[in-house]
Amino acid sequence: GGERSKSSAIALLSTLCLAPGGIGSSEQITSVFRHVKTILNADDDANTRRHTAVNSKSLKLEALCLVRIMLSCKKHDASDIKSALLPILLSDICKCVQEDWYKVISEALRVLMEIPGLLVLGSATKAEKDEVATSLYDAIEPRLSEHDLDQEIKECALSASASLVSVLHASLSPDQKNRILSLLLDRLKNDTTRIAAIKTLSKVGRAAKSSEDLDLTSVMNEALEQLALLLRQQSRSLKQSALECIDTLVLCLPESDIDMDEGLFDSVLKDLGEIIADTDLHICHLSLSASNSILKARPSTGALVKGH
C-alpha cells in the first residue's frame, strides 16, 4: 500500500496492542515484524524525491513506535515477541541508531531500552543474551560517547545504557562495562546531561546492590565526588536526584575496599551535613538517609557522621 495506508495500519496495530490478546500469537507477531522490517529498510537515497524521503522517515518513526509498544505492553507472550524480534528485526533496529534524523535515532534507542527486560521475561538462553548484549553495546556506545548530538538522543542513549548494564551486565565484558561507566561519569559532569546521568547511575546502582557481577568501584570515588558537588547547587530537583543516587551507590560498596578514598567520605558527609535544615524537610530526610547509608557501608565513618 501507499504511505498513508501504511501509516493508518501502524496506528491501528498500535491501538490493538492495548486490547486483550494484543496483536495475536506468534504467527501474527512475526508477520507484523516482517512488514516493519521492509519499512525500516526503505531506501532514502539521493535519487528519491525529497517529500518521499521525508514520508519514509516519518513511517520509520511510526514503525519503531509500534515495535516499542509491542515490546513494552503486557498483552503478548514475551517468548513469542523475543523469538520473532531477534532474528527478524534486531539488526535493523540497531542500524536505525545510525540514521541521520534525531527522532528516528531516539526512538530506536527507546526500542533497544526495552529489549534487555524482554529477554528476561522471555526466558532467553545465555547465548541469546550474550549475542544481544554485544549488538546493543555496539549500537548504543557510539551515541553515548558523542557530544555534538541532540539532547533527546543523549538522554535516550543514557536510558538505553542503563537498561543494558543493569539487566545484561553478566553478558558484557569487563572492558565494555568499564567503558559505559566511564562515559556515564563524563555525562554526569556535563550540565545538560547530568540529571539523566544521575538517573542512569541510580538504576545501575540498584542492579549492582543485588548482583556480584556488576562492580562499580572503578568509578565510585569520582561519582560520589561529583554527586557531592551537585549538592551545592541551587536546584532542588538536582539536589534530590543527587541525594537519592548517593544513597543508592554507597550501599553498593563492598565491606572492605582499599581502592576507596576514605577522605572522600569526610567531604561527602560535610556536604550532606550542610543541607540538613528544617527549611526543607524532604531534602533533610534524604540527606540523613544518605548519611545513614554511608554509616552502614562504612561503620568506620561513625566519628565523621557525628562530626558533621
> What torsion, rounded to 10 degrees, do the Cα atoms 58, 60, 64, 67 define?
120
Q: What is the pLDDT of residues 225-257, one digit of tens each?
A: 899 888 888 888 998 999 999 989 888 876 655
- pLDDT for 115: 94
pLDDT confidence bin for 47, thresholds 50/70/90: very low
Q: What is the pLDDT of residues 100-110, one digit of tens each?
A: 899 999 999 99
- pLDDT for 139: 95
Q: Using an 8 Å Cβ cutoff, are 85 and 118 in contact?
A: yes
Sign of CA dihedral 290, 283, 264, 266: negative
Q: What is the pLDDT of residues 258-297, one digit of tens each?
A: 555 567 777 787 878 788 877 778 888 888 888 888 888 7
- pLDDT for 49: 45
For residues 127-152, give the mean pLDDT: 92
Helix (H) or strand (E) holding 124: none
d(CA 270, CA 262): 13
In whole angstroms, how far apart are CA 265 and each of 270, 276, 283, 301? 8, 16, 19, 7
Helix (H) or strand (E) holding 213: none
- pLDDT for 43: 62
Q: What is the pLDDT of residues 50-78, one digit of tens each?
A: 445 556 888 999 999 999 999 998 888 89
pTM of the entire predicted model:
0.88
Q: Please, what is the average pLDDT of the chain?
A: 86
| Phi and psi at residue 101, to the nearest 5° | -80, 125
